[in-house]
Structure 1
Amino acid sequence: MSDTSTTTIASFHLIRYDTVGAMRHMAFDRPVLRSTGGLRFWRLLGTGRGPSMSLGADLRRWALFAVWRGEPDLDDFLRSSPIAARWRDEARESWHVRLRPLAARGAWGGVDPFAPVAAGQGAAGPVAVLTRASIRAGRLAAFYRSVPAVDRALREQDGLLASVGIGEWPLARQATFSLWRDARAVRDFAYGTAHHRTVITRVRAHDWYGEELFARFTPYGSQGAWNGADPLRA
């Protein structure tokens, strides 16, 4: 087993508040995150109402995706950061998971968040997937026409544990974070679902994305609740 004290890891945090006033934290948390030790990459994210990229926004639920120099840096953030303290004190519900990178391709804002991390070997068990795209303005209408069919297929897919649409900007910069029973379930959805295959073909043929990122992780050390339960402990 690798030494997690010196191995880059990622984390995903999904926070639900009681009111839409939590939107203000998107601005106030940025300088705190910029000065957080050991934080190599981060994005504060809004969330959608559906399981994947969608037009509907949930203004009471927000997310943080982060890449850390090592496990102690994440531990220190969760123990002493005012952001984590507010999650404990004010959030109606919060869910946190540690992520060991397995494979990644693409970029986020012109950066590979995981470089120079080498791909890891996944053990049998759950897999987390992050897909993110910057959608070209001229392709937005076509993209969002494709979303409902993929959403239905995702909800019905055997092996899906949980999924949420996330994004930096309304409409144009969208992502999905999902948890799966195992790597086979991920492959079955990616290559065995007709609607998903059709969309991927159209993405490539018509150059819908200006930038994209696909990453897989081994999720571990989850805490809290996502829609009332921890999907990795159900």
Structure 2
Amino acid sequence: MTQTVSLSFFRFAGPVARAWALTMMGGARLPLARTPDIGFWKLCGSGTGEGFTPIPNTAVYAILATWPDAETAYARTQSGIFATYQRRAAEDWTVFLQTQTSRGAWSGQSPFEPTAAQTNGPLAALTRATIKPSILTRFWGRVPNISEMIGKDPNVAFKIGIGEVPMLHQVTFSIWPSEKAMAGFARTGPHADAIRAVRDEGWFREELYARFAVHSDRGTWNGISPLAKLEAA
């Protein structure tokens, strides 16, 4: 069996639905923990603007989870607590991933299991970090600029900033058409400068970097599957 990672996004319209989603940051923990076959999981909020800013977006939430295989991932992300979110949300989209590389830790764990399989198709990149409080000003001085650059890159099909704890526990997620396009962005400009600062100044208490093959998706985001942008290109 090949581990499959699901990342589900939910958009909520109106104050009642958004208030419900906020309370579920605590209320969904037990149902998620009791979901059959689920492995590692995280509930996340999101950022506003270009997708990765210190200002929370109260309309968008995400659930990341690992599963023993793709078939199980498809089934479980349409039932239980996931189905509850889908009924309440104005829009939802889930992307299914298989890990190519992963290094570092998330909450003291190594949640993603790399496979030997390679792909010529689209790739996703995920970066997760626990930021040291002493460098918050420097971190948030750089990251929104990086996020804006990603948004302007014609190659990126999807990108978002999510996190477990505002300001301190942050995740970036983006989808690219190829390894060449992803690497071209990562090695130049403000992103490369920030990576050097991370290494030289020790910004993070804990960090994880993972790359995934994009397996498939379900649902829409802004009225269309983000993967359709890649197919059109």
Q: For 1:50 and 1:121, how far apart are their aligned partners in 2?
A: 35
Within 5 A, what are the aligned runs for 1:91-110? 91-110=89-108
2-side partners of 1:189 and 1:121: how far apart? Answer: 24
Select between 19-28 and 124-133 the one with higher mean Cα deviation: 19-28
- The answer for the alignment partner of 1:159 in structure 2 is 155
Compute the RMSD of aligned alpha carbons. 1.5
The structure-2 alpha-carbon separation of the partners of 1:38 and 1:77, relative to structure 1 and needing over 3 Å to count, comes to same
In 2 relative to 1, CA 29–132 (structure 1 residues): closer, same or farther, beyond 3 Å? same
Q: Which amino acid aligns with 1:49?
A: T
Q: Residue 214 of structure 2 aligns with which residue?
A: 219
Give the structure-1-normalised TM-score. Answer: 0.91
Aligned amino acid, residue 220 of structure 1: H
Letter in 1 for 2:207: E
- Cα pair 2:128 2:172 within 8 Å, conserved: yes
The equivalent of 1:171 in structure 2 is 167
Instruction: Quote the residue 1:3 is aligned against.
Output: none
User: How far, CA to CA, are the matches of 2:114 and 2:60 in structure 1?
Assistant: 32
Structure 1: how far apart are the matches of 2:137 and 2:78? Answer: 43
1:174-199 deviation digits (Å, cap 9, x = unpaired): 011111111111100111x2111111
Residue 185 of structure 1 pairs with residue 184 of structure 2: no
How far apart in 1 are the matches of 2:49 and 2:128? Answer: 15
Do 2:2 and 2:115's aligned partners in 1 also have CA atoms closer than 8 Å? Answer: no
Paired position in structure 1 for 2:7 = 12
State the partner residue of 1:230. 225
Cα distance between partner residues in 2 of 1:121 and 1:90: 36
1:198 has 2:193 as partner: yes
| Percentage of matched positions with identical amino acids | 33
The answer to whether structure 1 residue 138 and structure 2 residue 134 are counterparts is: yes
Q: Which letter does structure 2 place at the counterpart of 1:53?
A: F
2:23: which partner in 1? 24
The aligned counterpart of 1:210 is: 205
Does the alignment pair 1:48 with 2:58? no
Q: 1:125 to 1:72 in 2, by over 3 A?
A: closer
TM-score, structure 2 normalization = 0.91
Q: Is the 8 A contact 1:50 1:165 kept in 2?
A: no
Residues paired across the two proteins, number: 225
Are 1:127 and 2:126 matched, yes or no?
no
Q: Is the 8 A contact 2:157 2:176 kept in 1?
A: yes
Which residue of the other structure, out of 84, 87, 93, is the alignment partner of 1:86? 84
